[in-house]
Amino acid sequence: MIPAFAVERTQEILYILGEFQRNGMIPDIPIYLDSPLAIKATEIFRKNKKYYDKEAQAIVDEGFDPFDMPNLKFTPTTKESIAINENQGSAIVIAGNGMCTAGRIKHHLKHNLWRPGASLV
């Protein structure tokens, strides 16, 4: 579980996870972006490639979207968010509220923090 602020921090995390995945540094497991605002912000980032820095532009030039991966799933609805916790396998969950004081991250903490294999980053 990764609590993250919707704008900038979430996109940095997606960028890094995408880089790790392209280089085989993390397994091919589901990655959930569980924040309606972060989903909207990420879509804005993706539509404005002309403002990317040189490093991100190089990734685009190689044919990749730095904010997208085949295993990335957007969960804009509450129903989809709740369903994440039914997954018994490994997953990365990026959820709203970087300080863990509100938002969907609290739900994920409640349902997963007790699990031996769970981690909070």
Q: What is the DSSP letter of 95?
A: E
User: Residue ranges per domain, the chain?
Assistant: 2-112
Q: Which CATH architecture has domain 2-112?
A: 3-Layer(aba) Sandwich (3.40)
Q: Which residue has the tokens 């804005």?
A: 44
What angle is formed at CA 52 by the lines to CA 25 and CA 20, rounded to 5 degrees? Answer: 5
* Closest residue by Cα to residue 94 from 69, 59, 60: 69
- Tally of CB atoms within 10 A around 26: 15
Q: What is the pLDDT along the chain (121 residues), one digit of tens a residue?
A: 999 999 999 999 999 999 999 999 999 999 999 999 999 999 999 999 999 999 999 999 999 999 989 999 999 999 999 999 998 889 999 999 999 999 999 999 999 999 999 999 9
